[in-house]
A and B are shown apart, each in its own frame.
Chain A
Amino acid sequence: MAFDYEQYLRPGKLPHIWCPGCGHGIVMKGLLRAIDRCGLQKNNTAIVSGTGCASRLPGYVDFNTLHTAHGRAAAFATGIKMAKPEMDVLVVGGDGDGIAIGGNHFIHACRRNIDMTYVLMNNYIYGMTGGQFSPCTPTGDRTSTTPYGNPDPIFDVAKLAIGAGATFVARTTAFHATQIDKLITAGLRHKGMAVIEVLDDCPTAFGRHNKFRSVVEMMKRLKDIAVPTQAASQMSPDQLRGKILTGILHQEEKPEYCEQYQQVIARAQAAAKF
C-alpha cells in the first residue's frame, strides 16, 4: 500500500515554497517514512531547523516545529532535549545553515553526543539567497559569488561529524530515495548524536550556474558519484576519485549527554544530602 504522507503533513500548508526539481521534498518524504517506521509520537517529537530553503521543512509537518535563526538549530534543539530529555528531537537544515554559520553548534552537538537526529540536506549551495557558494560547494564550481570558479576547499560533512564525536554518521543522496528513510530510521534508533547527510540538488541556484541542463542530469550525477561503503572496499583509489561513499559511515557506542547529565544530578543530590 502506498505510504500515507498526509497523516504527517499539516493541512493547508501546501504547496511548499520549494522549486520544481528541488531535492528537499524527497528528503522530507524520506524523513516522514522514517518517523512512521520508528513510531514517533507527534506530540512528543520536536523538529528544529535554522534558516534556508531546507529549513522550511518543519512548517509543513505536524509535530512541535521550530524554525529558528540561520545556523542556530542545533543549539535550540540542545535546549529542548536537555530540558525535556523524553522528547524525540530532530534537526533538519541545509549545508550553509549547518556547516557555515552553524558549524560551531554542529560540532559541539556532535561532541556532546546528545541524543538527536540531524538530517543535513547538502545541496552544496546557498539556495535561499540565490546561489552563493557554501563550505560544501566543490572547488572550481561557479556560483554567484565565485564567478571565476570557487577557490575554497570543501568540508566533508561526514568526516567533520565523525571527527567531532557524533556516534552515528551516514550519507546518501536524493537519488537514493529508499536509502534516505532507512538511514534516518537507523539514526533515530541510535542512542546519541546521529548525523545523516543527504546530498541533494538545487536546480535553481546551483544548476543554473554550472550548466546542468535539467534536474534529471543533476540526479544522474548524484547516482553516478555515489558508491556504497561495501563496494568501495573493493575499489582502488583511482576508481574512487570523484566519488562519495554512501551508507552508514560510522557507528559506535559512547555515553549520551542527557544520561551523563542525569549522573551530574545524582551526584549533586547525593552531595547535598551530606
Chain B
Amino acid sequence: MAKKVALLQGNEACAHGALYAGCRFFGGYPITPSTEVAEVMAVELPKIGGTFIQMEDEIGAMASILGAALTGAKAFTATSGPGMSLKQELIGYACMAEIPCVIVNVMRGGPSTGMPTGPSQSDVMQARWGTHGDHPAIALAPSSCQEIFSETVRAFNLAETYRMPVQILLDEINGHMRERIEIPEPGDLEVLNRQLPTVAPEDYKPFDDTQGDVPPLAAFGSDYRYHVTGLNKAADGFPTSKPELVDAEKRRQLRKIEANQAHIEKNEEYRVEDAEVILVAYGTISRSARAAVDHLRNDGIKAGLFRPITLWPFPEKRMARLAEQARAIVVPEMNLGQLILEIERATRRVCPVEGIGRVDGELITPAEIVAKVKEVL
C-alpha cells in the first residue's frame, strides 16, 4: 500500500509525531519560532478528545503538563529562547518527582530576546544543566522533518520508559523548513507507555527502588493515591532529609540514564570507516557537514561525519573510539562552543578538536566547513 505522504514543516512534523505517540495534552505559551507546534496541537487535539490549553506563561504551561501527566496523560509543551529559560525550575521538578513529559525547544538566538527569527543551537548546555541541582537529562536533536517526526515519538517513549522529562532540540531552520515526509501507519513505529503499578493500592510506593530504577507510576484518579513533592523523599514519596535516603534517590535518578545509555543513545555515522577527519554535527548543521564530507572526499580528504541524535546522554564511548582513528575532529555548531566541550572531554583530546561557531543567525555552510578542515589538516 502506498505510504501516506505530506509536505510538513519541522514544527508540524513534531506536533504530528507527538499525536502519533499518543500525546493527549498540550499546555503552551506562544513564542517564535516554536508557535506552529502549539497551533497544530490546538487544531488536532480536540478532534481526538485531547486537551489543548494556552497558559498564562511558560511556567504555567510546564506546570499544566506535569499536572496532566500525573493523571496518566502523555503531555507535551513547546517553546523557544526565553520561554525555555522560564521552564527550567519545573523541568527540575519533573526530574525530581519523576514525571514523564516532553518539551520541544525550537532554539533561537539568545540570551534574552536575542534573535526571535534567527536559528541557533545555543541551548545544548542548557538542555543538560539548565535547572539547578544534579539531575538526569535526555535531549534529542533530529535533523530532517522525517526524523523530527520519528524522534518526537521516541522522545515520548523515553519519557514514559524512564519517568522523566525529555527535550527535543530543533532550531529555527529545521523547525520551519518544509520537507516531504512519509507518515507512518499506526504500528510502524514503536509506541511505549509508562509502567503502571501492579501491587495492591495500599502497598504502592511511587519511588520504590525494589521495583527497579524506574518505579511504576500510578495515575491520579485511579485506585492508587499517593503524594508527590519536589523535596527529596523516601520510597513512599514523603519528604526526607536522611542523608542515606537522599543520596540513594539522587543516584538512582542518575542511574536511570547511566545504566540505560545503550538504549537511549542514537547516532548516525557517514563515511567514517576510514575517515581521518571526523566532523561532529547535529540537527540542521549536520546537513551542511554531510555535504562537506562529500566535497572533502572529492578533494581527496578522508572525511566522515559523526552525528549524535541523542545529545544527552552524550555518546562518549563511541566518540572516544572515533577520536582514536582521527587526525582531527571538527565541530561546526551554531553557538560559540558548547557540544565541543563534551567532545573534548570524551576524547581526552587525543587529536586536535576544532570548532566552527556562528552566532549571527546564519547557517554554517558546507564551504565554511571544508575550508576549516583544510586549515586544520
How many of chain A's residues touch chain B, expressed as a range? Answer: 35 or more
Known: A48-B67, A82-B51, A104-B60. A67 touches B230 (CB 8 A): yes
- CB-CB under 8 A from B61, the residues of chain A are 75
Return the CB mask of A49-60 against B: 1 if under 8 Å, else 0: 001000000110
Q: Does A46 contact B (CB under 8 A)?
A: yes
**Which residue, of A67, A104, A269, has the highest number of chain B Cβ atoms within 10 A?**
A67
Q: Is the interface of B mostly helix, strand, loop or mixed?
A: mixed
- Contacts A13-B238, A44-B221, A87-B221; is A105 near B229 (CB within 8 Å)? no
How many A-B Cβ pairs are below 8 Å? 138
- Does A155 count as interface, using CB distance less than 8 angstroms? no
Q: CB distance A65 to B222 under 8 Å? A: no
Q: Which of A51, A59, A75, A104 has the most CB of B within 10 A?
A: A75
- Is A141 in the interface zone, CB < 8 Å from B? no
Contact of B220 with A79 in the complex, beta carbons under 8 Å: no
Which residue on B lies nearest to A71, using beta carbons?
B59
Cα A76 to Cα B49 with chains together (Å)? 20
Kindly identify, within residues 77 to 102 of chain A, every residue whose CB is under 8 Å from any CB belonging to chain B. Answer: 77-84, 86-87
Cβ–Cβ < 8 Å partners of B90 in chain A: 69, 72
Question: Quick one: CB contact mask for B54-70 with A, threshold 8 Å, 1 for yes?
Answer: 01110111011111111
Asked if B220 and A78 sit within 8 Å, CB to CB, the answer is no
Residues of B within 8 A of A65 (CB): 225-228
A80 touches B71 (CB 8 A): yes
Contact in complex: A66, B228 (CB < 8 Å): yes
Q: Please name all residues of chain A whose beta carbon is closer than 8 Å to the beta carbon of B37 when the two chains form the complex.
A: none
Pick the residue among B47, B221, B226, B230 that contacts A269 (CB under 8 A). B47
5 contacts between A and B (CB under 8 A): A10-B227, A78-B55, A79-B75, A267-B46, A269-B47
Question: Which of B's residues lie within 8 Å of A, judged by CB?
Answer: 24-25, 27, 43, 46-47, 49, 51, 53, 55-57, 59-61, 63-73, 75, 89-90, 93, 220-231, 238-239
Residues of A within 8 A of B (CB): 10, 13, 42-44, 46, 48, 51, 58-59, 62-69, 72, 75-84, 86-87, 104-105, 108, 261, 264-265, 267-269, 272
